[in-house]
């Protein structure tokens, strides 16, 4: 007899349910944090701003009597009181030209007409000590200006200019500017060209602008000249 095959269904009570695989949550991407600067950086910036402020203040205080790249002139060091007037426009800027108090300005120069008298050598030293020199006359306009300025009732008759001769007839300006015979303003009959008259003055009593005399180098008034200070 053929054998029968019996099938049975078996269930296990303690069988564990299908394992659940837990997938870890997706890792969050962290946004990059802003980089922190060292603590000394703000202090450095503050220091730089402070130094810039000092430089600006210094420039504003020094600029009125300074020119680019130049040290104060001897004239600026000799005087503390100044008188300024509008200068001719230079390019797109309009500035001021200044002369020491009591000096006269003509074009780009300042002139001092003395009330006292000195010898030629003393006059040269006096002008030099004020940061200037005895006047060197370069044009007809300058000569006309000075001729008018000496026409004050209280002025003496003679004013030294910066012209003299080491040898008779060999005239030389104090700043070594070549002497131009055609641009001289001698009085009629002058110069005398004698060994005793080697210094030159403007003679106030001459009614015209041709008023130069050669004279003895004794005490006379003087005219000092210096470049005006531009601000």
pLDDT digits (tens, 9 = 90+) for 127-141: 999 999 999 999 999
Do the domain assignments include residue 197?
Answer: yes
Residue range 22-69, pLDDT digits in tens: 545 555 555 556 556 677 677 778 888 888 878 765 554 444 444 444
Do the domain assignments include residue 79?
Answer: no
- Give the pLDDT of residue 160: 98
Distance, CA of 108 to CA of 85 (rounded, Å): 11
Do the domain assignments include residue 70?
Answer: no
**Whole-prediction pTM value?**
0.68
Do the domain assignments include residue 23?
Answer: no
Do the domain assignments include residue 34?
Answer: no
Question: What is the CATH number for 160?
Answer: 3.10.100.10
Distance, CA of 101 to CA of 110 (rounded, Å): 10
Three-point CA angle 199, 203, 204, nearest 5°? 150
Q: How far is CA 200 from CA 68, 139, 168, 180, 193, in A?
A: 37, 17, 12, 15, 11
What DSSP element (H or E) covers 82? strand 82-86
Domain span holding position 159: 113-222
Which of these, 144, 138, 130, lies nearest to 202 by C-alpha position?
144
Sorted by sequence, the CB contacts under 8 Å of residue 23 that are 6+ apart come out as: none
Residues of the chain with pLDDT under 70: 1-37, 40, 56-71, 88-94
The total number of structural domains that make up the chain: 1
């Amino acid at each position: 007899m053929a054998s029968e095959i019996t099938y049975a269904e078996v269930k296990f009570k303690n069988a564990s349910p299908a394992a659940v695989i837990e997938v870890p949550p997706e890792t969050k991407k962290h946004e990059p944090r802003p980089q922190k600067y060292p603590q000394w950086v703000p202090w450095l910036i503050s220091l730089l701003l402070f130094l810039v402020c000092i430089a600006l203040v210094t420039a504003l205080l020094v600029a009125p009597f300074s020119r680019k790249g130049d040290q104060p002139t001897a004239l600026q060091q000799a005087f503390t009181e100044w008188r300024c007037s509008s200068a001719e426009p230079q390019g797109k800027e309009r500035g001021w030209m200044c002369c020491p108090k009591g000096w006269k300005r003509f074009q780009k120069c300042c002139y001092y007409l003395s009330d006292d008298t000195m010898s030629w050598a003393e006059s040269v030293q006096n002008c030099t000590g004020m940061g200037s020199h005895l006047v060197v006359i370069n044009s007809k306009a300058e000569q006309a200006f000075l001729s008018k300025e000496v026409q004050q009732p209280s002025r003496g008759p003679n004013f030294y200019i910066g012209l003299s001769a080491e040898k008779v007839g060999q005239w030389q300006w104090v700043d070594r500017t070549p002497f131009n015979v055609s641009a001289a303003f001698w009085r009629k009959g002058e110069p005398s060209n004698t060994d005793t008259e080697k210094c030159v003055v403007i003679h106030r009593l001459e009614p015209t602008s041709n008023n130069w005399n050669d004279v003895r180098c004794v005490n006379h008034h003087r005219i000092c000249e210096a470049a005006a200070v531009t601000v």
